[in-house]
Amino acid sequence: MSKSKGNVIIPDDKLETVGADALRIYVCFIGPYDATVTWIEGGLNRCKKLVDDIWTLREKVDDNEADKSLVVAYHKMLKKITGYLESQKNNVAVSELMSFVNILKEQTGINREIWQNFVLVLAPFAPHLAEELAIIEYLQHTQKSEADIDWETLNKEYGSIHKDPWPKYDESYTVDDEVTYAVQVNGKVRADFAISAEASEEEILEKAKEKVANGWMEKN
């Protein structure tokens, strides 16, 4: 892109159509920060839809206990995004964020603690949306409405989500209960099987022999 060719993207124009958060997410998502990238309008629209989806998800938040599968997905997401941000891989961090949003969309309800921590994770990518969602949670917690409180009071009582500490993941939820192995014989995959991640080497070998033997029996 260059000014002489007239194909420069003007951020102000995009701000008016998709908003600052969607634009920010797309800039993160479009590729590594130090790489030459191609601007794709469809990708920007996808990020706008992501913002809209997250805003709608707030309606699912409740105080019910979270399903274990959601807890596991949350901690895995948090671990991955934490690592991606530390290594400045913002594009894959956004991709992971999108995947988790898809999981949230499948839920009939979203545990409040998981939601509040998710909003913290969202903050670097969509600061305005995250701040607004955090304020909604604050008002819910204090049983106040926007009409009951002015911005000066809100700033004193709540502050900002961008001053809150980054959430911590539980390592025990990030380790898969099972591991899948592929068994090769003479360079060809003959079988695959899943086994407990805590299985010993002897148990893994025994399972592999069993799978290969069963596969041979089925063919003869």
User: pLDDT tens-digit profile of 74-102?
Assistant: 999 999 999 999 999 999 999 999 999 99
In this prediction the pTM is: 0.74
**11-170 CATH, one of 3.40.50.300, 1.10.1380.10, 1.20.1090.10, 1.10.730.10:** 1.10.730.10
| Nearest of 61, 64, 26 to residue 42 by alpha carbon | 26
Gap between the Cα atoms of 153 and 173, Å rounded: 39
Give the confidence band of 217 by pLDDT, cuts at 50, 70, 90: very low
Strand partners, 110: 61
CA–CA distance from 81 to each of 73, 90, 203 (Å)? 12, 8, 34
Lowest mean pLDDT among 138-147, 158-167, 182-191: 182-191
CA–CA distance from 24 to each of 18, 54, 127, 180, 183 (Å)? 10, 15, 9, 38, 45
Q: What is the largest CA-CA distance in the chain?
A: 79
Give the confidence band of 179 by pLDDT, cuts at 50, 70, 90: low
Residue-range domain boundaries for the chain: 11-170, 178-219
